[in-house]
Structure 1
Amino acid sequence: MTDRVVRPAARQRRRPTKQGVVLSEELIVETALRLIEEHGADALSVRRLGRALGADPSSLYRYFRHTDDLMLAIADELIGRTLRTWRPTGDWRADLRDLGMRMHAGALAHPRAAVLSSYRVTGRGYEIQAVETILGVLRGAGFPDAEAVRIYHAFVDQALSFGALDAAGAALPRAAREAETAVWRAKYGRLPADTHPHIAATARHLVADMRHSSYPVALDLLLSAAEVRLTEIRGRPEA
């Protein structure tokens, strides 16, 4: 796609595609997301999208200026899928943990798209809603504004980073994933104590633990540190 722009009012396609479907931004994003999971980044081409939609490729310019614009919409949709399943309870730590775990699960549900979009800033509706929501949770808990922003930053970057890391692993062929898991038992589990005493002492734990994501542990450590910080803030004498 290029930077060709169509006025928003003119974007809605009024005739069905060859497959009898009326195009919409939502349909294009959903189709692109499916194609990415099937074919990777190469799926984001006007020709392939048009073929999948049964539409003239040029009609996609009514909705997106170029493929990067579409990629931002896909990233925003992944955020939206997390927000639509999350309900706050009023317990700031439990709410952030639940949101973080849902973000991570969302990345694993769409691993190839997550790897492509985790580092993007969309400036779109769902992302704005997520920023507002998380800051609201932190400010409502009593964190001062500057502290709320720092914790928000760490929380989101941690969730996105682990999501991309674990999604990249999940996107590997099954044989490759199984081979990497086997290394912990076949290689690390057999290192002798006289040359690698710490690995030998913890080998059974490494074999058991390293096959799983460490995100839940990392998330709990972050939230524990934030809770300690909040206790310190509440304990400070007022000026």
Structure 2
Amino acid sequence: MATTRGSSLRVRRRPTRSGVVLEPDMIIDAALRLIEAPGGNALTVRRLGVELGADPSAIYRYFRDLDALLIAISDRLISESLSGFDPGPDWAASLRELGERVHHSIVRHPRLATLRASRFTTGPNELRGDNIGVGLLLSAGFPPAEAVRHYADFIDAVLALAAIDAVELTPAQQQAEEEGLRRAYSSLPPGEYPHLVAVRDHLPSVTESPFPGVLDKLIFALSHLAPNGAGAG
């Protein structure tokens, strides 16, 4: 996976045209502002140079390419998920909180949702999060191979559901979708869709986020599989 050249490497820092000395975090901050700008993602290397008051080529002294910068931004946002997180003795409750934190962070930054759900960063924050998650499952008594597999399944499900919830619809799209569903559900012929007709009154709930229910099921399943049981709480 693409990564930054690494903040541990020595990079010759030179002042920009405005006299500011660039730092990787400064570039990440500026890129995130452009990504989340009103009207849509405005990130390009040229615009980033303008935002920083620097020659666009200066970015490449810190990041191999734009993809590497995006991966670094993704790792930065993982730190947002982990900020203030202090796992407790109840591994199941802590794993639930970790999932909720990841979901909240991705939904909060919808334009980076697909990237965060589909790419590894191998950065310090991703590694810290993985270390916490695997550690929680090890504390539940799972053998190492099972702890890794269960954590991968868990976090991938959280990431996928968060990416779905983060999809940005315009008000017009949202309204058209809701009206289309109402029409479809109200006109179901019983002979063709007897089961859907039987639950017609409950069908509108399919538009609600599946995340809370799926998270409940994941924690329930892991709690019943765990050699040490459901945790301390």
> What TM-score does the superposition give when structure 2 sets the normalisation length?
0.86
Of the structure 1 ranges 147-156 and 45-54, higher mean CA displacement relative to structure 2 is found in 45-54
- What is the DSSP-based 3-state SS (H/G/I as helix, E as strand, rest coil) of the residue aligned with 1:90? coil
Counterpart residue number, 2:99: 100
Alignment pair present for 1:45 and 2:81: no
Partner amino acid for 2:211? Y
Counterpart residue number, 1:138: 137
1:66 and 1:110 map into 2 onto residues whose CA distance is: 22
Counterpart residue number, 2:154: 155
1:35 and 1:224 map into 2 onto residues whose CA distance is: 40
Structure 1: state its 5+ residue gaps: none
Deviations 1:107-135 (A, max 9, x none): 11001111233211111100111111111
Of the structure 1 ranges 127-136 and 184-193, higher mean CA displacement relative to structure 2 is found in 184-193
- What is the DSSP-based 3-state SS (H/G/I as helix, E as strand, rest coil) of the residue aligned with 1:187? helix
Shift of 1:198: 1.5
- What is the DSSP-based 3-state SS (H/G/I as helix, E as strand, rest coil) of the residue aligned with 2:214? helix
Partner amino acid for 1:196? Y
**Bigger relative contact order, structure 1 or 2, given CA contacts below 8 A and separation 6+?**
2
Pairing partner for 1:188 from 185, 190, 195: 185
Counterpart residue number, 1:24: 23
Partner amino acid for 1:219? L
Number of residue-to-residue matches in the alignment? 223
Shift of 1:21: 4.7
Structure 2: state its 5+ residue gaps: none
Structure 1's 85 and 175: CA in aligned 2 closer, same or farther, altered over 3 A? farther
2:17 and 2:116 map into 1 onto residues whose CA distance is: 28
Give me the CA root mean square deviation: 2.3
Counterpart residue number, 1:213: 209
Q: Which has the higher helix share?
A: 1
Structure 1's 89 and 183: CA in aligned 2 closer, same or farther, altered over 3 A? farther
- What is the percentage of aligned positions where both structures have the same residue? 43
Q: 5 Å matches for 1:1-239?
A: 8-13=9-14, 15=15, 18=18, 21-38=20-37, 43-168=42-167, 171-207=168-204, 209-230=205-226, 233=227
1:229 and 1:137 map into 2 onto residues whose CA distance is: 14
